[in-house]
Copies of this chain bind each other. A is one copy, B any other.
């Protein structure tokens, strides 16, 4: 997210609506903290390959969030980098998965995408003094609140079409087949999708963003599998990517975006990836009694905590 690419920004501000569409495509890539247009395009293709409903709602959410940012007068250089679209993208996906494909879901997705843009501004104000960014917290807040409240409203709730996720006890023996599935679904679960080929396409998109990005994404996926196995998590959950998508995001964020490329920083990033793996189980237990959702909270909380610590830990250094 700190990537500024000043010439691209200047160029985009000139021409609309292509500027709007480009900003939206970048928004899809910003879910993985990458502003590169090609990364966004490949990930968008991966989402459509996962199913037309997921592709459609991801697209809808991103477009509405980005348009809302224009309408409310958000700083233009921030919009063109896609920083106003990624929460709407995830909110669209989360709502269609949690509530099913119904007319009311379209209304909620649009409302949710608008709210994401407002909450992005809220969190930017609140976190700014600490040098932290909103990450995907607007998505987690908006989708969490909507999915939590939905069963109270008869014109919205048509019964849960599918449970989003929850670690339970289960078999812990792991096979080679489980391992490589987990490696890719850890990447696709960032977008709430558990298809290995979707994760593979997304890794290609991340590779376009740079070697360091894809290496840390892969390393985050690997260490989370090792950690989850060593702790004794159920194989079924590991295979579906439940224990790894937060680690992938933490590894990208700390390893390739927010911290400079030193060995100590890299070790810190992977330590964070492991911590987020354990935190996933704790947060899921926390959310269970009241029906909340884990979403990307483990990534967000881990990254905020580890980034806020950096100013007092001189062995580590921010990238900017």
Contacts and interface: CB of A to CB of B under 8 A. Distances in A.
A312 B84 CA distance: 12
A292 interface: yes
Number of copies: 3
A278 interface: yes
Interface residues of A, number: 65
Interface stretch (A13-21, A124-132, A186-194, A208-216): A124-132
A313 interface: yes
Given A126-B130, A153-B231, A154-B232, 7 more contacts: A71-B315, A72-B313, A74-B312, A122-B306, A152-B167, A154-B234, A289-B290
Interface centre among A122, A288, A310 (most CB of B within 10 A): A122
A309 B118 contact: yes
A151 interface: yes
A309 B152 contact: no
B313 A155 contact: no
B311 A125 contact: yes
18 contacts: A73-B313, A74-B312, A121-B313, A125-B311, A125-B312, A126-B130, A144-B282, A148-B285, A148-B286, A149-B280, A149-B282, A152-B168, A152-B285, A153-B232, A153-B278, A154-B169, A154-B172, A289-B290
Nearest to A167: B152
Nearest to A237: B152
A125 B312 CA distance: 8
